């Protein structure tokens, strides 16, 4: 299964292979271990996103490049009914380090996997349930650059607030489920087709 992040023009940006843990047709739970080969995205001129002025960050051309998911492993809950996916992060030793709520626009499923548009704004939830917004400063520039509409940004923020409410209540997916997850000992890394 492949998780694809598309650009607003429909072109494909990132592609990450997932090992499917469960899939009911709407909600997919997938594993991306440290060291997984993927297709990433970078600025054509070689700079990192954070090196570009905020107002130009979403206007600079990007290109697809081979990359490796490195430094952590993630278990990802990708639910077509929600404008988000929830990622359980694990350090290289396999210890749970927290949740990342990647706010996204769902575009549906294909035979190969899931298609989403990254929503720029995210929520980070610590193991103790405390949370913080991430990349709030980028949302306005993404709207001005045409990367998101104001209506999409509002819906993404509402989705973030829904997830914050779940985290504050300590309910699924922030109830400890999957925090002790361990991959099968014989599992190989997932590969792109």
Q: What is the pLDDT of residue 49?
A: 80
95-109 in b/e burial notation, b at 16+ Cβ within 10 A? ebebbbbbbbbbeeb
Q: Answer yes or no: is pLDDT of 128 > 90.
A: yes
Q: Which of these, 100, 23, 13, lies nearest to 1 by C-alpha position?
A: 23
State pTM to two decimals. 0.95
CA distance 90 to 71: 9
Q: 97-104: list long-range contacts, CB under 8 Å, 24+ apart.
A: 97/72, 97/127, 98/124, 98/125, 98/126, 98/127, 99/124, 99/125, 99/167, 99/173, 99/174, 100/74, 100/124, 100/125, 101/125, 101/160, 101/163, 103/156, 103/157, 103/159, 103/160, 104/5, 104/156
For domain 2-169, which CATH number applies: 2.40.380.10, 2.130.10.10, 2.40.50.1020, 3.40.50.150?
Answer: 2.40.380.10
Residues 35 and 69: beta-carbon distance below 8 Å: yes
Domain ranges within the chain, ordered by starting residue = 2-169
Q: What is the pLDDT of residue 37?
A: 99
Q: What is the pLDDT of residue 44?
A: 92
CA distance 88 to 74: 5
Q: Answer yes or no: is pLDDT of 50 > 90.
A: no
Q: Taking residues 32-48, report their average pLDDT.
A: 93
Q: 25-28: list long-range contacts, CB under 8 Å, 24+ apart.
A: 25/109, 26/79, 26/80, 26/81, 27/77, 27/78, 27/79, 27/80, 27/81, 28/1, 28/76, 28/77, 28/78, 28/79, 28/114
SS3 string, 77-123, reads EEECCCCEEEEEEECCCCCEEEEEEEEEEEEEECCCEEEEEEEEEEE
Q: What is the pLDDT of residues 55-95, one digit of tens each?
A: 888 999 999 999 999 999 999 999 999 999 999 999 999 99
Q: What is the pLDDT of residues 134-155, one digit of tens each?
A: 999 999 999 999 999 999 999 9
CA distance 35 to 73: 8
Q: Answer yes or no: is pLDDT of 46 > 90.
A: no
Q: What does the mean pLDDT of the chain come to? A: 96
């Amino acid at each position: 299964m492949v998780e694809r992040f598309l650009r607003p023009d429909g072109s494909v940006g990132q592609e990450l292979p997932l090992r499917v843990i469960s899939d009911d047709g709407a909600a997919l739970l997938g594993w991306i271990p440290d060291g997984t080969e993927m297709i990433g995205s970078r600025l054509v001129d070689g700079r990192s996103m954070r090196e570009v002025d905020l107002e130009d960050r979403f206007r600079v051309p990007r290109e697809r490049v081979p990359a490796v998911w490195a430094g952590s492993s993630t278990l990802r809950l990708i639910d077509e009914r929600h404008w988000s996916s929830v990622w359980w992060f694990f350090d290289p030793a396999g210890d749970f380090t927290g949740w990342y709520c990647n706010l996204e626009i769902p575009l549906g499923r294909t035979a190969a996997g899931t298609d989403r548009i990254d929503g720029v704004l995210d929520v980070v939830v610590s193991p103790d349930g405390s949370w913080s917004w991430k990349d709030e400063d980028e949302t306005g520039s993404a709207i001005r650059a045409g990367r998101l509409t104001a209506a999409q940004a509002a819906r993404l923020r509402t989705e973030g607030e829904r997830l914050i409410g779940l985290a504050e209540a300590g309910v699924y997916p922030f109830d400890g489920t999957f925090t002790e997850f361990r991959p099968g000992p014989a599992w190989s890394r997932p590969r792109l087709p």
